Amino acid sequence: MSAMTYRITFVCTGNICRSPMAEHVVRRHFAEEGLDVEVDSSGTDGWHVGDPADHRTVRTLSRHGYTSAHTARRFSPSWFARYDLVVALDQGHAKALRSLASTPEEREKIRLLRSFDPQAADLDVPDPYYGGDADFEECLELIEAAVPGILAEVRGA
- Residue 54 above 70 pLDDT? yes
**Class at the top of the CATH hierarchy for domain 6-155:** alpha beta
Please enumerate in sequence order all residues whose Cβ is within 8 A of that of 153, keeping only pairs 6 or more positions apart, or say none.
Answer: 85, 116
Catalytic residue among 45, 51, 124, 127: 127
User: Is 155 one of the catalytic residues?
Assistant: no
Residue 119: pLDDT over 60? yes
- Average pLDDT over the chain, rounded to whole? 96
Distance from CA of residue 51 to its chain's centroid? 17
Q: Name the pLDDT band for 2 (thresholds 50, 70, 90).
A: very low
Predicted confidence at residue 157, as pLDDT, reads 80
Contact assessment for residue 73 and residue 42, using Cβ atoms and an 8 Å cutoff: yes
How large a percentage of the chain has pLDDT more than 90?
A: 97
Confidence of residue 140 (pLDDT cuts 50, 70, 90): very high
User: For 76-118, how does the pLDDT look when each residue is reduced to its tens digit (9 = 90+)?
Assistant: 999 999 999 999 999 999 999 999 999 999 999 999 999 999 9
pTM of the entire structure?
0.96
What average pLDDT does this structure show over 120-133? 96
Domain ranges of the chain: 6-155
Catalytic residue among 17, 18, 73, 139: 18
Q: What is the DSSP string of 59-128?
A: HHHHHTT--------B--GGGGGG-SEEEESSHHHHHHHHHH--SHHHHHTEEEGGGG-TT-SS------
Q: What is the mean pLDDT of residues 58-80?
A: 98
pLDDT band for position 3 (50/70/90)?
low
Q: Is 117 among the residues known to form the active site? A: no
127 is catalytic: yes
Catalytic site residue from 12, 17, 40, 114: 12
